[in-house]
Structure 1
Amino acid sequence: MADFKFKVLSFSILSLLSSAVFANTDTDTTTPTVLPILNVDAESDQHKYAATKASAVLRSDQPLFETAQSISVITEKQLQQKQAKTLSEAIEGVAGVTSGQYGRRGWDDFIIRGQVASSQTYIDGLRVQTSDNALRSEDISGLQSIEVVKGPTSTGFGFALPGGLVNLTTKRPQAETFYRGSLSYGSYALKDGTFDINYAPNHSAKGAFRVVGHVSDQNDATDYVYFKNYYIAPSYNFDLGDKDELSVIASYQHREFIRQQGIPYSDGAYKNYPHSLYFGATNLSNTVDSYRFGANYTHYFDHDWTFKSNFAVIKTEADNNPVLAGSNNTLPTIKRTVERQIKDDLNFTWDNNVSRHFDWGKTQYDLMIGLDMAHERSDYERRRRTLTAFNANNPVYTAIEAATATIAHQITDTQYMGLYLRNNFKIDDHWIIGLSGRHDWTQVKVDDLFNDSKLKNSDSAFTGSASLMYQMNDMFAPYLSYSTSFFPVSDTGEGGVLLDPEEGKQFEAGVKFQAFNQKLQGYLAYYDLTRKNVTESDSTLGYSVQIGEQKTKGFEAELAAALTPQWNVTATYSYIPTAETTESTTASDIGKRINHVPKNAASLSTQYFFSPDQLGWNIGAGITYQGARTAQRTTYYVPLSSYTLYDVKAGYEAKHWGANFSIKNMFDKEYLVGTTPNAQLVSWGEPRTFRLTLNFKY
């Protein structure tokens, strides 16, 4: 009943507000600040260490300091400081985020506020994929920044799990001509090279062209495991005059890898075996090819209205050949099967909105009305074959043929359309009220080619958010917010019936803060998040089940600051005392902690330049603490101890070149990073590694 009242109240308020706005459209003669195109927003903070905006996910130029929501932005300078190779490494240490919990398996894994969010990756504000049966590993060399949104995001982006999302903002053409590149060499035969070329013939971003490329090849601490990556992304800004802006970007990424399998926990017997042990096939690799084309268009109307259109199409082809461990393994024997997972996806996403700023004297009002839609066709086939058991005491590796017997083949069509309305009021330069509502229509069709059956499920849902913020001064702004979410699933339950959509809601209270002329940005927040109809696949039953309800409650603190022209610092802390299953069809699961979610996590990273112009020598260090966690599934239970990692780096920057040397996990700490989803295999964390990088810039 409370949710129904919230919907009625929200829609009533939104309807009255929008009616009042359009009634006053012709009489308003003020000249507001025009919101720029997405790619220009992404570049506006490019030289800052601490971002002041998150334009792609907010779809506006609204400052983070005036946003009643927890959003972490990892800028390009912070990415350089982290020396990260993957997205999981890049977001490691972000408040409320656990990343890489399944080990070095060749794709991006992360949990946000206690909820798995690995399939909720966006590029330039558009969803990359809806299915999660084969995840991705996005190349981060072509990124300007990474935006991590915490909490439900359905009001802005349609169906989504309530933990949050990760948005990748791509590098776009700039108003200067430059040529940049890097060469790296490191542990486990790491060889890495990048180039970044920008050509601006008119010394303007309009008419400018940019191309970013990346090649990487590295072995792993686990025998026979390797990761190869090739990426290229050209982009171009058209010059269409003052009222129109158009930016296009295309990219191609090829990955080839053998994933780290882990080793059976086997009641702690894993400790008796080397970290390098591999029980898979040395001749069967995994390959993924991803093609993307995106376009951003903006038109500035008379009367101060702005229209924006954001479009992308992504085609992904994957051929994966993992060797899987059977259940109930007792070392040294590991029961095995080999799978071939063939996946072919085609994803279209399109967002359109109109917006305007109104100046009513003491009240500033921003309105946005939008319509977005998406369609994904996912063709997924699984083939399986049983292998001979592996003897961990006497490893023998022979060539293994790819699996040929099909065990599942489905074509899933997922489509949605959402109509959204956003209202933002700033009253007397202190009070900020946000009211947003969205209605989505979704349809999921599953054509089961293996079982010769077809399923179809249509849903619609209203999601909303409301927030209140008070700007005490230019430094502190406390806020309250409430938001809801929904997520239609393509999983089938008992009898082959499509399951109900998942739902979520969150209450959040916090305070934003800034200082040093906005060069320090941060927040402190408390949240209470609930996820209903939690869906999990059950290999024993052979179908998916909705286990019930999960709840997470916690605190987050985060800051990023350029304290001086020479000294940069980021610090984060997460405390999640509650992360448990509160309702379940299995009574014994009630009260159990959610897998891989620590109660405490913290990080501190700093870099110091010996010269104010940041030329010459610089040094840096980082500390990451991960508290104790657990992983459990049915009869399996794995305790994961806490650990602390230390990183150091040193570098020298000249006008046209630079050199950096970094060491990660400096004291070679042995630790378990996590387990597989079924909690049967454990994965060792990355040992001590070094990396030497030479940079060139003209």
Structure 2
Amino acid sequence: MAHDISCGARRTLTALLLGCTALIASPALAQDAGTGTEASPYRLSPILINAEGQFDDDANSIVARELWVGGKVATSILDTPASVSVITEKEVRDRRATTLEEVLSYSSGIHTDYYGTDDRNEYFLVRGFEATTYRDGLTLGSMRSAREEPYAFERTEVIRGGNSTLFGTSDPGGTINFVTKQPRFERFGEVYGSVGSPRNAEYGFDAGDVLNAEGTLAYRLTAKVQDGERDYDHSRNDSRFLMGGLSWQPGTATTLSVVADYLKRENTPNSGGYPLDRKYDRSDFFGEPDFNYQNVERASITGLLEHDFDNGLNLRANLRYSDLKSDFGYVYLSDSPARVGTVVDRWYFGGDNTAEELIGNVILQYDRSFDRFDSSTVAGLEFRDASTSSAPFYGLYTPIDIANPVYSGAPGTLAAPYELRDNDYKTKSLFVQQNLSFDDRFIATVGLRHDWLDIRETLNGVQTSDDFSETSIRGALTYKVNSEISTYVSYVESVAPPGVGVEPERGEQYELGVKYQPLGTNALISASVYDLTKNNVTVAVVQPDGNITRELVGEQRVRGFDLEGKAELGGNVDVIASYSYMKSDVVRSGPIRGVDVEGNEFGNVPNHMASLWVNYTLPGDQTRGDMRFGLGARYVGSYFFAISNNTGKAESSVTLDAAFNYQVQENTNLALNISNLLDDQHVVGSGTADYYNPGRAVAVTLRHSW
């Protein structure tokens, strides 16, 4: 809302939008100058091609032209009837994004890190709703307890808006797909070391080569070790990651890859929050040093098979087994605006969790060209067998004097778990998608999927079960104005993963969009307007006694606009720009904790967001190497902390980031990255305590590649 944006924030937002305008204008001017022309008629066939990221140079470009997502959608981003972002390995490295929240922070329509120093999970909303995460097209599902390691991936792909037709039961906000680094049939590698503040040291390498003289067998080994701290005292941020892959390619038509990985994190999950009465130093700690832990251990093995029958028929099959164990515990403040004095109540909270999952799919694709149209048919089946267990506990703990903190030590006796929950999930799915391209101009897309879900739950010794049979559809029409511009209109449905005795949350989205990929310039600009609705919504509500219950909201809707552009201009300027507008609305709901929320906006959903990142490279000469300067700005508008709209609002904010890279010698670079350059501090989340945005972080990285 306009009155929520200060004059300074308005000026910043205006500058960011002008940056977006300049990004759109520059390729057009370049083309007018003769750098790119439409040389000849083009052909859309095949609409779907077999790709796993090889067509894009993710390590050396910020602009992606192809999409993978497990082979379930059109690989050409220009032909994909959806709002799409691809964050390449180069962009992640340039910005030094070490968490998923940081990876997504410059993408349109995505609000990240709105719980600040609560680091138990990765927090992000896409178009106002949660989004489901995938790895190589297979849902991570019960593996969400582990914060992902970005160094494991070639790219991160975002498709905005839920789409159960392609991905099964999923949240309506969108799809986040991680593309795993796989072996390549060439010798390559890198090794790096990084130190920084808050205290952090990390080391990693990523290397591979061909193993035999015939060139049919290749390997890749990736590893990272981190020893660090967070903004607050008594913190810990340590991790170990190891991944190995082996690929066999007996001929050009067949590739079989096996990738195994292991992730271990030993962290502090939470600062305990900060009192509500004023701004405190980020280093302050009001939890318990002896009771602040989070341990996560996950192992996975994945098999990926692709075979081209050389007659228009292609087969893909993927299979993954994962095992996860995690536990956590911390003490947090339970403050109130009505508090008198300096003594604040505290509670402790924790739990033990396990998950085991086997998931796989088989996808057949058949492409054929006719006189006036091309056809591409994708059909497949998927299955998932997962089991989880959880034993959360909480209890009242000793208060603390925030004017003179004295720690009490770990709780002597923990309360018994307030619930013992075991769940088993079995899912079987069939899906089909048909694409038809007419006269090199129109692409019609129709999709249909049916999921059978069987859920069994044991809660505190009582066994219950439920089964669901859900159908979802997808339809879209793309019009190719010319070889550079495409427009589309689409309708998609989503069905969120249900629980025993709870109706699945269902979503539907209408979207209209346009994409521009100028010839002669490595750039992609997209804009979309959408109407996204979610029904049968339930929300988690913390009751006065500290217990958490699910309460029915009913229907929620977000209407908005997304604009995003990425371009590499003139060989030495990279630009990433985005703007989004979202108007969220609770359409139908019963009272939440006695408060009428109909007509309210969602919690943690700003009306306006914008970002701009610019890299400028100064070429080297005989006396020095290349120098690259990077500067970024992230604007987040004001938003309510809760759906009740009565617990306060976050102020609009602008956060600056900077980077400098110097080529020490060929294939060796020294980089300096600073996030939150001005160390801006503001409240991003508030409940029984305030939570601040991450403070300034500085990292110096030396990297050598071959």
TM-score normalised by the chain length of structure 2: 0.87
The answer (yes or no) to whether the contact 2:359–2:384 under 8 Å persists in 1 is yes
The answer (yes or no) to whether the contact 2:198–2:698 under 8 Å persists in 1 is no
Asked if residue 297 in structure 1 is aligned to residue 311 in structure 2, the reply is no
DSSP 3-state at the match of 2:117: coil
What is residue 440 of structure 1 aligned with on the other side? 451
Asked if residue 663 in structure 1 is aligned to residue 671 in structure 2, the reply is no
Residue 275 (structure 1) aligned to one of 279, 282, 302: 282
One-letter amino acid of the counterpart of residue 475, structure 2:
A
DSSP 3-state at the match of 1:78: helix
DSSP 3-state at the match of 2:647: strand
* Aligned counterparts, 1:165-564, within 5 A: 165-201=175-211, 206-261=216-271, 263=273, 266=276, 269-271=277-279, 273-284=280-291, 285-301=293-309, 303-326=311-334, 328=336, 330=339, 332-401=342-411, 403=414, 405-448=416-459, 450=460, 452-490=461-499, 498-517=501-520, 519-540=522-543, 543-564=549-570
Identity percentage of aligned residues: 24
Distance 1:604 1:143 in 2: 23
Alpha-carbon distance, 1:670 to partner:
1.8
The answer (yes or no) to whether the contact 2:619–2:626 under 8 Å persists in 1 is yes
Structure 1 alignment gaps of length 5 or more: 1-31, 493-497
Distance 1:626 1:543 in 2: 30
Bigger RCO (CA 8 Å, 6+ sep): 2
Distance 1:408 1:641 in 2: 37
Distance 2:695 2:65 in 1: 35
Q: Deviations over 1:47-94 (max 9, x none)?
A: 432000111255356300011101100011111121111111110121
Residue 126 (structure 1) aligned to one of 113, 138, 150: 138
Asked if residue 584 in structure 1 is aligned to residue 589 in structure 2, the reply is yes
Closer/same/farther in 2, CA of residues 635 and 356 from structure 1, 3 Å limit: closer
Closer/same/farther in 2, CA of residues 163 and 206 from structure 1, 3 Å limit: farther
What is residue 7 of structure 1 aligned with on the other side? none
What is residue 15 of structure 1 aligned with on the other side? none
Distance 2:442 2:430 in 1: 27
Q: Deviations over 1:103-151 (max 9, x none)?
A: 133321100001123xx2211111112486xx32100111100001100
DSSP 3-state at the match of 1:308: strand
Closer/same/farther in 2, CA of residues 192 and 45 from structure 1, 3 Å limit: closer
* Aligned counterparts, 1:637-676, within 5 A: 637-653=647-663, 654-675=665-686
DSSP 3-state at the match of 1:52: coil
Distance 2:496 2:73 in 1: 25
Closer/same/farther in 2, CA of residues 131 and 217 from structure 1, 3 Å limit: closer
DSSP 3-state at the match of 1:65: helix
Closer/same/farther in 2, CA of residues 215 and 443 from structure 1, 3 Å limit: same
Between 1:465-474 and 1:275-284, the stretch displaced more is 275-284
Distance 1:419 1:77 in 2: 36
What is residue 109 of structure 1 aligned with on the other side? 123
Alpha-carbon distance, 1:46 to partner:
4.5
One-letter amino acid of the counterpart of residue 428, structure 1:
D
Closer/same/farther in 2, CA of residues 34 and 546 from structure 1, 3 Å limit: closer
Distance 1:201 1:421 in 2: 38
What is residue 22 of structure 1 aligned with on the other side? none
Structure 2 alignment gaps of length 5 or more: 1-44
DSSP 3-state at the match of 2:106: coil
Distance 2:377 2:174 in 1: 24
DSSP 3-state at the match of 2:69: helix
Closer/same/farther in 2, CA of residues 287 and 565 from structure 1, 3 Å limit: same
DSSP 3-state at the match of 1:240: strand
One-letter amino acid of the counterpart of residue 231, structure 2:
A
Alpha-carbon distance, 1:336 to partner:
2.1
Distance 1:436 1:488 in 2: 20
DSSP 3-state at the match of 2:172: coil
TM-score normalised by the chain length of structure 1: 0.88
Q: Deviations over 1:666-696 (max 9, x none)?
A: 2221222334xxx333211122221111001
One-letter amino acid of the counterpart of residue 442, structure 2:
W
Q: Deviations over 1:241-260 (max 9, x none)?
A: 34421011111000011123
Alpha-carbon distance, 1:467 to partner:
0.6
One-letter amino acid of the counterpart of residue 470, structure 1:
Y
Q: Count the aligned residue pairs.
A: 648
Closer/same/farther in 2, CA of residues 224 and 38 from structure 1, 3 Å limit: farther
Distance 2:556 2:643 in 1: 15
Distance 1:517 1:311 in 2: 40
The answer (yes or no) to whether the contact 1:385–1:405 under 8 Å persists in 2 is no
Distance 1:530 1:262 in 2: 35
Distance 1:474 1:635 in 2: 47
